[in-house]
């Protein structure tokens, strides 16, 4: 494989990125600071500011340099710094990858992107247990992509389950097509930036159900309803034609890898001391690793180490650089 260094200035739309980072939390965001500062063309693909563990954290009091800061604010500051060095950020969901070719491919809901190296920083908010009926009606009313499927539900009733910015943005997109969006938030308050909360609250055809926990998606060949519970109030049912699920859990998010990387018994990725997996040029950092201590500062440290390692891999250097070298 040719690891000739290419700068961001030389990149065109027909060339692969030097590195794609999947996940824009403290690990992925910090990695993007280091790669973009090293003049590597860097693309970060992330589901949203509040789609990760840090983004939904109220206040962080132990991150160096801040007395206290909201998790989403810290993520945004990291991204702003990375973008000042030239890193690109897009909001999208990764649904598949090809890591085995020399040029790696990353497939999202809206496009395909290529790079010579990939950093996986998708965290551990994945779900192991699906909602009853979710798998049964997948593709028959159950969807994870409003952009892909909204047109199929024109003038119909749909449910959206989730409480973070990805869920809200998808609900707002659906509202352009459907009759009514029933937004089921599993928490009493939405965990999203205030401007999104305000926008969805003002949308006339979006009905918000605070504290509504999705329990079942029902149907007869196709989705025809959902059942949810509210604490202290029992069960409720809604007649809908579609269910868009954006819920979070506590499992490493690795389903999009399609078995191309080794995982341990807990579903976590395995890496060497530079955070490289068994495939050269593929790195993994943050909460997607079982050995990782779940602290933002530790994730940022992972990102720094991996960012330097990516630059070393792509340029063929044998030693790590120093951050005071310009």
Round to the nearest angstrom and report the end-to-end CA distance of the chain: 28
Neighbouring residues of 296: CB distance < 8 A, sequence distance ≥ 6: 26, 54, 57, 60, 63, 71, 74
Q: Distance between CA atoms of 283 and 161, rounded to whole angstroms? A: 31
Residues β-bridged to residue 96: 107
Cβ–Cβ < 8 Å for 87, 34: no
Location of structure tokens 């206290």: 68
Q: Distance between CA atoms of 119 and 134, rounded to whole angstroms? A: 30
The CA-based angle 299-55-30, given to 5 degrees, is 35
Cβ–Cβ < 8 Å for 125, 53: yes
Catalytic-labelled residue, pool 145, 224, 255, 290: 145
Catalytic-labelled residue, pool 18, 46, 92, 149: 149
**Whether 149 is catalytic:** yes
Catalytic-labelled residue, pool 148, 235, 272, 323: 148
Catalytic residue IDs: 145, 148-149
């Amino acid at each position: 494989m040719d690891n000739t260094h290419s700068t961001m200035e030389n990149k065109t739309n027909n060339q692969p990125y030097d590195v794609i980072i999947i996940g824009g939390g403290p690990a992925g965001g910090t990695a993007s600071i280091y790669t973009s500062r090293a003049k590597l063309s860097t693309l970060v693909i992330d589901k949203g500011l509040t789609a990760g563990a840090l983004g939904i954290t109220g206040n962080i009091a132990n991150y160096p340099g801040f007395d206290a800061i909201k998790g989403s604010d810290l993520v945004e500051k990291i991204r702003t710094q990375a973008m000042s060095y030239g890193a690109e950020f897009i909001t999208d969901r990764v649904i598949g990858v090809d890591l085995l070719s020399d040029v790696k491919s990353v497939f999202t809901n809206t496009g395909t992107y290529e790079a010579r190296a990939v950093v996986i920083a998708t965290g551990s908010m994945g779900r192991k247990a699906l909602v009853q009926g979710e798998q049964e009606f997948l593709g028959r009313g159950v969807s994870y992509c409003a952009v892909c499927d909204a047109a199929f539900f024109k003038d119909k009733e749909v449910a959206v389950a989730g409480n973070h910015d990805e869920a809200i943005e998808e609900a707002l997109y659906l509202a352009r097509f459907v009759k009514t969006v029933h937004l089921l938030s599993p928490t009493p308050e939405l965990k999203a930036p205030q401007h999104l909360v305000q926008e969805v609250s003002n949308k006339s055809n979006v009905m918000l159900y605070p504290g509504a926990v999705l329990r079942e998606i029902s149907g007869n060949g196709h989705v025809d309803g959902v059942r949810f519970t509210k604490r202290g109030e029992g069960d409720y049912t809604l007649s809908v034609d579609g269910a868009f699920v954006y819920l979070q859990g506590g499992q490493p998010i690795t389903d999009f890898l399609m078995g191309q990387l080794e995982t341990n018994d807990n579903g976590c990725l395995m890496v060497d001391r530079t955070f490289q997996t068994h495939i050269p040029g593929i790195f993994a950092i943050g909460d997607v690793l079982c050995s990782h201590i779940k602290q933002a500062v530790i994730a940022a440290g992972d990102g720094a180490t991996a960012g330097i390692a990516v630059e070393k891999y792509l340029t063929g250097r044998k030693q790590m650089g120093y951050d005071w070298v310009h």
